[in-house]
Structure 1
Amino acid sequence: MPVLPGAEPYHHQGTEVGVLLCHGFTGSPQSLRPWAERLAERGFTVSVPLLPGHGTRWEDLRLTGWQDWYAEVDRELRALRDRCSQVFTAGLSMGGALALRLAAKHGGDVSGVVAVNPANRLHGLFAQSLPVTRHLVRTVPGIAGDIAKEGAVEIGYDRVPLHAAHSLRTFLRLVDGELPQVTQPLLLFRSREDRVVPAADSARILSRVSSTDVTEIVLEQSRHVATLDQDADRIIEESLAFIGRLATGAGKEGTTARG
């Protein structure tokens, strides 16, 4: 199945400092492309893989699960480690959960994590009934496109296959149990208004990681897909500063900041 125009994976070979960006559930690398290109302009080696089942049609997503999505970013991380002396993981929404699990599982091979509106669980009665509902209902309306900025568009599915949503629920519960294994510096962005992932998810993540170098930044002008929204430049500049600080070996013994 052809990839949707604009949803292609992105790769750039640069310095020995690599950044792996992970997109969200039902989304594509397009939601991270401006961020990836700015990192590349600064000379970093950058990889934004297209997760299996994404970027084509929702019927393809129905045939995949969290093991497929995680395996893809795990392969990309290993490939970056072969080429780079340091690697950072980053992601949006489910991509933030993927980035955190990579940090938990790979330890010292990940130098830091940047998470934008990271997901920690599926919420509400809908999530609780998924084990049964997925056998009765194929899809529900999509979650893509929660952006405040006028004219900004996210390439994502207009339907969510419930078999894939159930797999996501399983994955997020798994990651929650592994969060204490995350010890790397963490930069977390949270939108004040987010119609997809509530603030409770970020709070839960911050309460469970073992990182001591932690910064939380609240985005006042963006909704869920903040990487394409009005705070996109702030995400880029703050992440560049975060990576630059750690890549140069400065400030690794950081303190916890809240903003």
Structure 2
Amino acid sequence: MIQQTDFFFEGGRSGVLLIHGLTGTPMEMRLLGKGLNRAGFTVHGMQLAGHCGNAEDLLATGWHDWYASVEKAADELLGKVDHLFVGGLSMGALLALKLAADRPQQVAGVGVYGATFRYDGWSIPWAAKLSFMLPLLKKLGIGRNRSFMEQPPYGIRDERLRAQVSSAMLSGDSAAAGLPGNPWYSLAEMYGLAAEVRSQLPQVIAPCLVAHASEDDVASLKNAELVMREVSAPAELLLLKDSYHMITIDKERRTLIDRSAAFFDDIAASNSTQRVAA
């Protein structure tokens, strides 16, 4: 059964929509959301369709469903704010980029956190690195009930936090820590999304803060470099040297909060000045 775990923090007229990753939960965006709210932003940490339940709940959805839930959440937040920013972690970063590409007049800026077009980090087993072949297996009807199980260090460099998160995840509390594995068919859907978003990167004209762990265990720095190279927008790279993949909760989360708040604030101030001048 899917549990509702999204959050909403009311603030000023600049809003940030935060999107979690595949098999994840809004909880992985909550500390970032609180920090942005303290900086004056209205924040909605949304819950992707099919998430925060069991594997069957997730398998009942695909990337078009996940993206439809992002669009719905964006529409709701647009009714409350003057400036809309969107930030996503891992696959959530891809969904954020797609929203920016599809809605250039609505999205003012993007937080691209640990973007994952391919699972090619140093902790990914060699077999899982071949997961880009999963769309073909899905077409052939092979492996519906198979999953790649999460591997230590679970994207977290902070050992105490890693122990807490892995304990919750392995206990089956998917609402708190996400699923312990990535179903093959859901990964196939993610690769379909990745191909779509990669083709759309030149359509992203909103400024991007591209934050990535320099030692990301899940998605190598090549993923961030792709975004930096392909988007048409001004892009700023933030390398985090004391974190792994889950940069929104890991050791340098305060740095991420501060840089994100400053980045979004500068854009909102610039856009407000342009409106007054017009």
Partner deviation per Cα, 1:12-45 (whole Å, 9 max, x = no partner)? 2221111000000110101110011111222311
Match of 1:257 in 2: none
1:12-27 matches, cutoff 5 A: 12-27=9-24
Percent of residue pairs bearing the same amino acid type? 30
Q: What is the alpha-carbon distance in structure 1 between the residues aligned to residue 245 and residue 103 of structure 2?
A: 28
3-state SS, counterpart of residue 120 of structure 1: coil
Q: What is the alpha-carbon distance in structure 2 between the residues aligned to residue 252 and residue 115 of structure 1?
A: 25
Match of 2:209 in 1: 187
Distance 1:252 1:241, change over 3 A: farther
Match of 1:111 in 2: 108
Task: Tell whether the 8 Å contact from 2:131 to 2:187 is kept in structure 1 after alignment.
Answer: no
Match of 1:136 in 2: 142
- Normalising by structure 1, we get a TM-score of 0.90
Match of 1:11 in 2: 8
Task: Tell whether the 8 Å contact from 1:246 to 1:252 is kept in structure 2 after alignment.
Answer: no
Q: What is the alpha-carbon distance in structure 2 between the residues aligned to residue 174 and residue 241 of structure 1?
A: 30
3-state SS, counterpart of residue 196 of structure 1: coil
Match of 1:256 in 2: none
The number of residue pairs the alignment matches comes to: 249
Q: What is the alpha-carbon distance in structure 2 between the residues aligned to residue 240 and residue 176 of structure 1?
A: 26
Partner deviation per Cα, 1:181-223 (whole Å, 9 max, x = no partner)? 0011110111011121111111111111001x22101110000
Match of 1:67 in 2: 64
Match of 1:239 in 2: 260
Counterpart of 2:84, as a letter, is V
> Can you give the 5+ residue segments of structure 1 that lack an aligned partner in the other structure?
254-259
TM-aligned CA deviation for residue 70 of structure 1: 0.4
Q: What is the alpha-carbon distance in structure 1 between the residues aligned to residue 156 and residue 271 of structure 2?
A: 35
Task: Tell whether the 8 Å contact from 1:63 to 1:164 is kept in structure 2 after alignment.
Answer: no
Match of 1:149 in 2: 158
3-state SS, counterpart of residue 160 of structure 2: coil
Distance 1:252 1:214, change over 3 A: farther
- Determine whether 1:30 maps to 2:36: no
- Determine whether 1:214 maps to 2:214: no
Match of 1:55 in 2: 52
TM-aligned CA deviation for residue 82 of structure 1: 1.6
Task: Tell whether the 8 Å contact from 2:50 to 2:57 is kept in structure 1 after alignment.
Answer: yes
3-state SS, counterpart of residue 215 of structure 1: strand
TM-aligned CA deviation for residue 129 of structure 1: 4.3
Of structures 1 and 2, the one with the larger relative CO (CA 8 A, separation 6+) is 2
Distance 1:80 1:131, change over 3 A: same
- Determine whether 1:39 maps to 2:61: no
Q: What is the alpha-carbon distance in structure 2 between the residues aligned to residue 252 and residue 166 of structure 1?
A: 44
Report which stretch shifted further, 238-247 or 135-144.
135-144
Q: What is the alpha-carbon distance in structure 2 between the residues aligned to residue 35 and residue 11 of structure 1?
A: 12
3-state SS, counterpart of residue 8 of structure 1: coil
Counterpart of 2:65, as a letter, is D
Match of 2:188 in 1: 166
Counterpart of 2:57, as a letter, is D
Counterpart of 1:98, as a letter, is L
- Normalising by structure 2, we get a TM-score of 0.84
TM-aligned CA deviation for residue 243 of structure 1: 1.0
Q: What is the alpha-carbon distance in structure 2 between the residues aligned to residue 245 and residue 136 of structure 1?
A: 49
